[in-house]
Chain A
Amino acid sequence: MNFTLHVWRQPGPGLDGRMVRYEARDVSPDMSFLEMLDVVNERLTERGEIPIAFDHDCREGICGSCSLMINGVAHGPNPGTATCQLHMRSFHNGDEIHVEPWRARAFPVIRDLVVDRTALDRIIAAGGFISAPTGSAPDGNALLIGKELVDTAMDAAQCIGCGACVAACPNGSASLFTAAKITHLSLLPQGQPERIRRAGRMVAQMDIEGFGGCTLFGECQEACPKQISIDTITLMNRDFLRSACAPARAVVESD
């Protein structure tokens, strides 16, 4: 297969970037999208040009590193599929393919297709955890957790933190990411004591980082490689509302 690529090239943070055209020749339909880029990069290097920078690591759809906007769609055309699991058989011979980085105010471009997603880590640091210092845990079976409940929590916990939801959202909102973590932890009995404070802090951090607000477009759940549902956002909003109504000390007591 042969393709014409248009790839965003930007030499560094804050510098001007532009779309550059490349030809990808003799591509096997069984190649992953990233393997196709590997081959393009090999050719660029051999020609003495600078290869295209892109984030990737596990290449099996779980680490959340890969982050390409392909023809305007986060992670490309296949639903429930991260870029690294997208194969060239999903395209037609001769296709023109536009490849861009995640675009969002909270995700500044570092180089080419690589963006800074540390804002997502700071949302987790604001409250996306259960405080359980090592050594203090009771027996794992001391707490009964119904199968349906844990399955629903797991559906949300599957989030790989790639940021596709942000890139897909016209508002650049991180609501699906944040709501997935809030849902995972707030459904479980272990997560109850910090539940209200968690929602208040994580949502506040989302605003601090410059993510937009959620207006329920639903683009995020279409783009999510783990197909996490926007139902989680409903739960987040409910907990957030409760945190807003709660006495101030419930939200900020440990500051």
Chain B
Amino acid sequence: MSLELKSRVPAGPLERKWDSHRFQMKLVNPANKRKYTVIVVGSGLAGASAAATMSELGYNVKCFCFQDSPRRAHSIAAQGGINAAKNYRNDGDSIYRLFYDTVKGGDFRAREANVYRLAEISVQIIDQCVAQGVPFAREYGGLLANRSFGGAQVSRTFYARGQTGQQLLLGAYQALEKEIAAGGVTMFPRTEMLDLVVIDGRARGIVVRDMVTGKIESHAADAVVLGTGGYGNVFYLSTNAKGSNTTAIWRAYKRGAAFANPCYTQIHPTCIPVSGDYQSKLTLMSESLRNDGRVWVPKQAGDTRAPGDIPDAERDYYLERRYPSFGNLAPRDIASRAAKAVCDEGRGVGPGGLGVYLDFADAITRLGAHTVRERYGNLFEMYQRITDEDPYRVPMRIYPAVHYTMGGLWVDYNLMSTIPGLHVIGEANFSDHGANRLGASALMQGLADGYFIIPNTVGDYLASSRLPKVDTSHPEFRLVEAEVAALTRRFLSVGGTRTVDSFHRELGKLMWDKCGMSRNAAGLREALERLPALRAEFWRNVNVPGSDSELNQALEKAGRVADFLELGELMCRDALHREESCGGHFREEYQTEDGEAQRDDARFAYVAAWEHAGADRQPVLHREPLEFEYVHLAQRSYK
């Protein structure tokens, strides 16, 4: 195939790459910027910050979101915090250490140059957000406060109670609304991107559906930026919002954008356990709780005593025991697998034995209930509302749940996909987190991409490309519109007996069982056989009521689930081909004697980028080798 993965990492020493690259980039004259139209899809941290900043620079921006307001994007739900290498604590932090922690935390499967740039920009993000009025927690003296997060031994996480994502998103949203009022951004809420339009090899627009009227419409542009989030909802149950979906990036994949590392999924260790079949989503309890909460299960399998009746000597604080130097703050993938391991041994707690305790009794004794309430009050309330249990008196019960996808569309150093002019930012791309993301790094990446990277690199693309004028009268738009309309009609015409949700639940269970927290070749092969059958059943027997010319939530869901049904297969294929364990990808066949992930750097130190080869053909694997010049490749140890 013709696809080529050019990472375009600038030459020169690591700490000079971004600076010298910015100098090398071509600029667009301020007076010419308004002649360019840039489409931004998604209004989360990455999308909103990108749209606002590019409008501030003078570009003509169109921003799209499927929610009724840009403020509702799922970044809003991020709880714990955002990392930055400020070293305000004088505890040994530095840009280099944040870079090192992130590469190591990602189990050496990320591109060094991208991660270093992220660490570099992290300090500017905090400043930017403070200037916008984000009410970060402060000390009594008026200085910014910090807390610790998993995978780090320094305290570098900035936070706004347990609502950091909300406050950061509102900052970006307010900047976006400011630009909407100024006329630089046109906002399209309740509008879903359903396809990408590629003309002469370049991304030149999108086809969308107005979710209120059902009208299919085209929008042309000089560059397209996707900030459409992750695809964790392929598992049906996840901590993602109900609407979070893969459709934008999946349809871009089918138009030629390579999909990188689709199997890298983050299972978050601290979520509220599933309580019944009707469950529609899972709720995260912030990782920050592990600062003060202690994770334990009974030493004895089948111990059904109430937690308060189990004496300390009969409890197994397994994270503290197995990882004495990081303890309860071991990285997410490790903490999740450890929880699964103790539950598999029959030592899990709560209904069905799928849970472990997160206990605040010691913290309450040490700090007092007041301080604990101040740090985590809203999380405790949320827990109590859902479970009807009071975590100030009985330990929380938690269990791992799908939370984030490190995989996504492949991008080069400029965050451009394999389709020229199509840029991908935030969780939607694959960059920066390797095989496992550290806590408080998603907000950092989304805002680094949106505020500081993409406004520069899109400018460079526009200034250095010959872009003939294209508008929506171009025949390619007609063609794609017709395809989108045909697909919509197809959903409505099946007239089967099963609801969209029933297919989604079945897909989710299959993915969780075979491509979840741990995977093996036999299970993945089985999933690869069952998925095409499930897809066929979907197209034969799905029931999508209503019409295409009105608000139709079943139709919206059908489109998303159809894409998840295809994506699931690519995830399993990727997981099967990667014959090693790394980060969130744990293959049972490849583990050390004490059950840790065993990488195979000789064979798999690369990014797996999959190219769509047509509906009935196997995707083509392309490899981007990863070179580690600065961080020494080693077995991760948090012991």
- List the B side residues contacting A87 at CB < 8 Å: 385-386, 388
Q: With an 8 A cutoff between CB atoms, is B545 at the interface?
A: yes
A197 close to B (CB within 8 Å): no
**Cβ-defined contact, B86 with A128, below 8 A:** no
Q: In chain B between 48 and 81, which residues have their CB closer than 8 angstroms to a CB of chain A? A: 49, 52-53, 56, 67-72, 74, 76-77
Contacts of A6 in B (CB 8 A): none
Interface of A is mostly: loop
Assess whether A38 is in contact with B385, with CB atoms less than 8 Å apart: no
A117 neighbours in B (Cβ, 8 Å): 68-69
Asked if B67 and A65 sit within 8 Å, CB to CB, the answer is yes
A215 at the interface (CB under 8 A from B): no
Interface residues as binary, B483-500 with A (CB distance below 8 Å gives 1, 0 otherwise)? 000000000000001010
Question: Judging by beta carbons under 8 Å apart, are A63 and B77 in contact?
Answer: yes
Q: Is the CB of A157 within 8 A of B170?
A: yes
A130 to B129, CA, bound (A): 10
Most A CB within 10 A of own CB, among B124, B241, B452: B241
Q: Is B532 an interface residue (CB 8 A)?
A: no
* A126-B181 contact, Cβ under 8 Å, with A62-B77, A133-B56, A143-B130: yes
Within the complex, what minimum Cβ distance (angstroms) separates A117 from chain B? 6
A193 to B128, CA, bound (A): 17
Indicate if the CB atoms of A57 and B241 lie closer than 8 Å.
Answer: yes
Q: Determine if B219 is an interface residue (Cβ-Cβ < 8 Å).
A: no
A184 to B144, CA, bound (A): 17
CA distance A250 to B82 in the complex (A): 36
Q: Among B67, B71, B554, find the residue whose CB has the most chain A CB atoms closer than 10 A.
A: B71
Q: Are B545 and A51 touching (Cβ within 8 A)?
A: yes
In the complex with contacts A42-B501, A51-B554, A64-B72, A190-B131 CB distance below 8 A: yes
A104-146: CB near B (< 8 Å → 1, else 0) gives 0000001100101110110011101111111111111101111
**Pairwise interchain contact B388-A120, C-beta atoms closer than 8 A:** no
A146, B133: Cβ atoms under 8 Å?
Answer: no
Provide the B543-555 mask, 1 if CB < 8 A to any CB of A, else 0: 1011000110110
* Cβ-closest chain A residue relative to B126: A140
Contact with B along A154-169 (1 / 0, CB 8 A): 1001101100000000
With A49-B545, A117-B68, A144-B141 as known contacts, state yes or no: A111 contacts B74, CB within 8 Å: no
B69 A121 Cβ-Cβ under 8 A: yes
Q: Could you tell me if B178 and A62 are in contact, using CB atoms closer than 8 angstroms?
A: no
Binds B, one of A27-35, A69-77, A91-99, A236-244: A27-35
A59 adjacent to B163 (CB under 8 Å)? no
The reply to whether the CB of B153 lies closer than 8 angstroms to some CB of chain A is no
Query: Does A55 touch B at the CB level, under 8 Å?
Result: yes
Instruction: Give min CB distance, B550 to chain A, whole Å.
Output: 6
Q: Is the CB of B280 within 8 A of A138?
A: no
Interface: A188 (CB within 8 A): yes
Q: Which residue of B lies closest to A117 (CB)?
A: B68
Contact between A130 and B77, CB atoms less than 8 A apart: no
Query: Is A57 in contact with B243, judged by CB distance below 8 angstroms?
Result: yes
Closest-by-CB residue of A relative to B139 is: A147
Docked complex Cα distance between A253 and B381 (Å): 45
A63 to B52, CA, bound (A): 20
Stretch of B271-279, B290-298, B358-366, B436-444 lying at the A interface: B271-279
Partner pick for A188 among B70, B135, B545, CB 8 A cutoff: B135
How far does the Cβ of B245 sit from chain A's closest Cβ, in whole Å?
11
- Pick from A60, A121, A190: contact of B130, CB below 8 A: A190
In the assembled complex, B451 has its CB within 8 A of some CB on chain A: yes
Asked if A51 and B69 make an inter-chain contact with CB atoms under 8 angstroms apart, the answer reads: no
Give CA–CA (A32, B275) in the complex, Å. 11
Q: Is there a chain A Cβ closer than 8 Å to B88's Cβ?
A: yes
Residue interface mask B103-144, A partner, CB < 8 A = 1: 000000000000000000000101111111101111111111
Q: How far is the CA of A78 from the CA of B384 in the complex (A)?
A: 13
Contact of B140 among A129, A137, A146 (CB under 8 A): A146
A134 and B69 contacting across the interface, CB-CB below 8 Å: no
User: Inside 8 A of B124's CB, which chain A residues have their CB?
Assistant: 135, 137
Which B516-554 residues sit within 8 Å CB-CB of chain A? 543, 545-546, 550-551, 553-554
Kindly list chain A residues whose C-beta atoms are within 8 Å of the C-beta of B388. 30, 87, 89
B residues less than 8 Å from A141 (CB atoms) = 86, 88, 143-144
Query: Once the chains are docked, how many angstroms separate the CA of A117 from the CA of B189?
Result: 11
Interface membership of B167, Cβ < 8 A: yes
> Which residue of the partner chain, among A31, A118, A185, contacts B133 with CB atoms under 8 Å?
A185
On chain B, the number of residues with a Cβ less than 8 Å from chain A's Cβ atoms is: 81
A138 and B386 form a contact (CB under 8 A): no
Residue contact A140 to B242, C-beta cutoff 8 Å: no
Contact A161 B69 (CB under 8 A): yes
Q: A32-B280, A38-B501 are in contact. Are A134 and B178 (CB under 8 A)?
A: no
**Smallest beta-carbon distance B495→chain A, Å:** 9
| Minimum CB–CB distance for A74 against chain B, Å | 17
Q: Determine if A51 and B455 form an interchain contact, defined as CB atoms under 8 angstroms apart.
A: no
The answer, yes or no, to whether B166 is at the interface (CB within 8 Å) is: yes
Query: Residue on A with the closest CB to B385?
Result: A85
CB neighbours of A38 from chain B (8 A)? 278, 280, 501
Q: Which of B131, B241, B283 has the most CB of A within 10 A?
A: B131
Contact indicator per residue, chain B 573-591, by CB within 8 Å of chain A (1) or not (0): 0000000000000000000
B180 A157 Cβ-Cβ under 8 A: no
Give the complex CA separation of A153 and B68 in angstroms.
26
Q: How far is the CA of A132 from the CA of B128 in the complex (A)?
A: 8
A5 close to B (CB within 8 Å): no
Complex Cα distance, B71 from A150, in Å, reads: 22
Give A32-47 interface residues, CB cut-off 8 Å to B. 32, 34-35, 38-39, 42, 45-46
When C-beta atoms are compared, the residue in chain B nearest to A31 turns out to be: B278
Cβ–Cβ < 8 Å partners of A85 in chain B: 382, 385-386
When chains A and B are docked, how far (Å) is the Cα of A125 from the Cα of B144? 28
In the bound assembly, the distance between CA atoms of A63 and B140 in angstroms comes to: 30
Interface pair A45/B499, CB less than 8 Å apart: yes
A188 to B74, CA, bound (A): 26
* A34, A39, A132, A143: most-surrounded residue (chain B CB, <10 A): A132
Contact, CB under 8 Å: B132 / A130: yes
Q: A204 contacts the other chain (Cβ, under 8 Å)?
A: no
Which B residues are CB-close (under 8 A) to A126? Answer: 181
Residues of B within 8 A of A64 (CB): 69, 71-72
Interchain CB contact under 8 A, B178 and A129 = yes
5 CB < 8 A contacts A-B: A50-B546, A121-B177, A129-B175, A132-B175, A134-B451
Known contacts A128-B174, A132-B128, A160-B166; 11 further A-B pairs (Cβ under 8 A)? A12-B551, A48-B543, A51-B545, A60-B281, A87-B385, A125-B178, A129-B175, A134-B52, A134-B128, A135-B128, A146-B138
